Structure 1
Amino acid sequence: MTTFTIQDVRKTFTNGEVNEQVLNGINLSQQQGEITALVGASGSGKSTLLTIAAGLQRASGGQVIFEGKNMTDMTQEGIRKIRASQFGFIFQSSHLVPFLTVEDQLMLMLHVSETKMSKREQKEEVIKVLKLVGMDHRKDAYPASLSGGEKQRVAIGRAIIHKPKMLFADEPTASLDSKRSKDVMILIRNLTKEFNITTLLVTHDEEMLSYADHVITMKDGLIIY
């Protein structure tokens, strides 16, 4: 089933009197339960495309359609609600809250996503997800005591705790060594399949592409293959 469709998406940035065309008419569709990886040199437009797809910025033209809903026509509040309840995010940095424990990082995400679960159910779900990402034994730890790989595992748990339909990952392994990068990508792939999530991934690391179902190469704001 098609979860996500991008139709003729364009993006122009204005710098003084100069207009820079960053995306030049992108068309892309994604199926449920699959990972699509965006690759290309810096400046190719892949991160801009991801942020537009995720509703973090507006396109200059074209349409972004999620489960049949045209996000291009939505208000900022409508997009915010979709991001909070239906989308999950993983970035190069884990962006963990320094004064919250591992368990509380995930509890906070459940609060933001406005889950209907009771507090007891939330705690049970958090422990379940922490076990999935191999971090239940560190549930009371604070970010400062975690390794880079552990932080990213917590970030992945936080991204999927509310069972999102879409997962957006922007260079999730860039700050990790090769072994931890492999572990993180295996985890992302396994969770994508287990929860039937649609994942859009940006990466520079060619070794990570073997974990994707589809690889799309971008250059100068265009998909070239």
Structure 2
Amino acid sequence: MTIFQINDVKKTFKNREIKEQVLKGINLTLKEGQITALIGASGSGKSTMLTIAAGLQRATEGRIYFQGINLSEMNQEQIRKIRAKQFGFIFQSSHLVPFLSVEDQLTLMLEISEVRLKKQEQRNEVEKLLKLVDMYHRKDAFPSSLSGGERQRVAVARALIHKPKMLFADEPTASLDSRRSIDIMNLIKDLTKTMKITTLMVTHDEEMLLYADNIVTMRDGLIK
């Protein structure tokens, strides 16, 4: 089932009198339960495409549909609410809050996402997902005491605790060694399937493409 659709998206950046067209007409369809990997050389436009799809910046032209809703017609507050409730994000670095425990990282995300749960229900959801990512035994630990792989596992759990429909991953294994990268990609793939999430991932690592259902190559602002 199609969850996300990108239609003829273009993006132009202006620097004084200079205009640079980074995206030149992108068309892409994303389906439920699948991982789509965006690949391409630096400057190809893949990270710009990811941030536009995620509602973190606006396209200059084109339309983006999420579950049939035209996000391009929404104002910033409407898009913010969809991001908070329906989108999850994983970045190169885990970006965990240094003074919060592993458990509290996920609880905070539930509150930001405005998921209406009682305290005990919140604890139950956090416990369940931390067990899924094999981090429940570290629920009281703080980021400074975690390894890089453990921090990224917590970041994955935090991105998914509010049960989003879309997951946006920007180089999620870039800061990890090969063994931990494989662990994280196995985790993302498993959760994408079991939770029926639609994942859009940017990566430079060709080994990570083994976990993708679809591979989309970008070059000079176009899909090749």
Name the TM-score class by shorter chain.
Answer: over 0.9
Please state if 1:177 is matched with 2:171: no
2:160 paired residue number: 160
Structure 2 counterparts to residues 115-130 of structure 1, below 5 A: 115-130=115-130
CA offset at residue 15 of structure 1? Answer: 1.2
* SS at 1:116 equivalent: coil
1:145 paired residue number: 145
CA offset at residue 26 of structure 1? Answer: 0.1
* SS at 1:129 equivalent: helix
CA offset at residue 171 of structure 1? Answer: 0.1
2:201 paired residue number: 201
Residues in 1 aligned to 2:123 and 2:162: alpha-carbon distance in whole angstroms: 12
1:54 paired residue number: 54
List gaps (5 residues or longer) in structure 2: none
Please state if 1:39 is matched with 2:39: yes
Residues in 2 aligned to 1:222 and 1:51: alpha-carbon distance in whole angstroms: 16
2:213 paired residue number: 213
1:96 paired residue number: 96
The residue type paired with residue 221 of structure 2 is G
Residues in 1 aligned to 2:132 and 2:47: alpha-carbon distance in whole angstroms: 28
CA offset at residue 20 of structure 1? Answer: 0.4
Residues in 1 aligned to 2:119 and 2:89: alpha-carbon distance in whole angstroms: 23
* SS at 1:44 equivalent: coil
2:113 paired residue number: 113
Measured on the aligned residues, the alpha-carbon RMSD in Å equals 0.4
CA offset at residue 50 of structure 1? Answer: 0.3
Residues in 2 aligned to 1:43 and 1:134: alpha-carbon distance in whole angstroms: 36
CA offset at residue 16 of structure 1? Answer: 1.6
CA offset at residue 55 of structure 1? Answer: 0.2
Identity between Structure 1 and Structure 2 (%):
71
* SS at 1:93 equivalent: coil
1:86 paired residue number: 86
Residues in 2 aligned to 1:58 and 1:220: alpha-carbon distance in whole angstroms: 19
* SS at 2:58 equivalent: coil
Residues in 1 aligned to 2:44 and 2:35: alpha-carbon distance in whole angstroms: 20
1:187 paired residue number: 187
CA offset at residue 159 of structure 1? Answer: 0.3
List gaps (5 residues or longer) in structure 1: none
The residue type paired with residue 110 of structure 2 is L
* SS at 2:20 equivalent: strand
CA offset at residue 117 of structure 1? Answer: 1.0
* SS at 1:209 equivalent: helix
Residues in 2 aligned to 1:206 and 1:22: alpha-carbon distance in whole angstroms: 23
Residues in 2 aligned to 1:174 and 1:40: alpha-carbon distance in whole angstroms: 15
* SS at 1:122 equivalent: helix
What is the aligned residue count?
224
* SS at 2:172 equivalent: coil
The residue type paired with residue 187 of structure 2 is L
Residues in 1 aligned to 2:25 and 2:191: alpha-carbon distance in whole angstroms: 31
Q: Which runs of 4+ in 1 moved over 4 A?
A: none
The residue type paired with residue 191 of structure 1 is L
2:74 paired residue number: 74
TM-score (norm 1): 0.99
CA offset at residue 125 of structure 1? Answer: 0.4
The residue type paired with residue 212 of structure 1 is A
* SS at 1:24 equivalent: strand
